[in-house]
Amino acid sequence: MPREVRERQMLDAAVEVFARRGYNAASMDEIAELAGASKPLVYLYLHSKEDLFSACIRREADALTAALRAVIVPGVPADRRLWNGLLAFFAHTAEHPAGWAVLSCQARTHGEPFALVVAELRQEIAGLVTRLIEETAEAAGCAVPPREAAGLAHALVGAAESLAGWANAGTDDGRSESETAAMLMNVVWVGLESLMNGRRWPQTARP
């Protein structure tokens, strides 16, 4: 079997085990057994448990980023690009729940260098969303300050991550990825429309 195929099998197995057991409890014996390989072969190809976990995180992060970049393309109105991005995000996380669990839960709880990869992923996605917000405002003939656009983008990314965890929680209520994406799109787009039309929450009304 070609090494590339064998490594992919090992990574697939490792993602499943890390998602289910967590990094500390995950066993290289279990990963090797699930991959249909010997433990010495896993160590030969991927060196150590830490290296294997890092490879899993990097692969899943790259796959998610690629899924988003494939649909957020130039020449499409900003609202459609945002919608396409949200739909791709929720579809990808639903189709790869173990990979998303590794990124959203396991990688963040074990410090560097694992958390750094996830931080880079979030920053890249937030950068894409920031540009969409700025372009949406420009198309409407108004301006959103850069700091505000970046803050809104990070809020949107955080909301999407939380919503993906909720959607993947295992409750079978017939909810589709498009319905989940629409929940967030409705909130975001109505809010952006209000901002672009000069309607803001009156802070002076706070107690």
Domain ranges of the chain: 74-205
Structure tokens at 103: 């990124």
Fold of 74-205: Tetracycline Repressor; domain 2 (1.10.357)
- Per the CB < 8 A criterion, the answer to whether 82 and 153 are in contact is no
If DSSP codes are grouped into helix, strand and coil, which group holds residue 203? helix
Tell me how far apart the alpha carbons of residues 110 and 105 are, in angstroms, rounded to a whole number.
Answer: 9
Task: Place 170 in a pLDDT band, splitting at 50, 70 and 90.
Answer: low
- Per the CB < 8 A criterion, the answer to whether 88 and 67 are in contact is yes
Structure tokens at 53: 């976990």
pLDDT for res 98: 92
Instruction: Count Cβ atoms within 10 A of the Cβ of residue 24 and give its class: 0-12 exposed, 13-18 middle, 19 or more buried.
Output: exposed
pLDDT for res 56: 92
DSSP state of 198: T
Amino acid at position 131, single letter: R
pLDDT for res 111: 62
pLDDT for res 95: 92
Question: What sign does the CA torsion over 153, 157, 163, 166 have?
Answer: negative
- Per the CB < 8 A criterion, the answer to whether 137 and 149 are in contact is yes
Tell me how far apart the alpha carbons of residues 106 and 123 are, in angstroms, rounded to a whole number.
Answer: 18
- Burial code (b: 16+ CB inside 10 Å, e: under 16) for 95-122 equals ebbbbbbbbbebbeeeeeebeebbeebb
Tell me how far apart the alpha carbons of residues 109 and 176 are, in angstroms, rounded to a whole number.
Answer: 29
pLDDT for res 91: 93
By residue count, the chain amounts to 207
- Per the CB < 8 A criterion, the answer to whether 99 and 12 are in contact is no
- Written as one string, the DSSP assignment of 164-194 is HHHHTSS--S---HHHHHHHHHHHHHHHHHH
Q: Is the pLDDT of residue 171 over 60?
A: no
Q: What is the mean pLDDT of residues 20-47?
A: 88
Task: Place 174 in a pLDDT band, splitting at 50, 70 and 90.
Answer: low
Q: What is the mean pLDDT of residues 152-176?
A: 80
Q: Is the pLDDT of residue 68 over 80?
A: yes
Helical axes 3-21 vs 49-69, angle rounded to 10°:
100
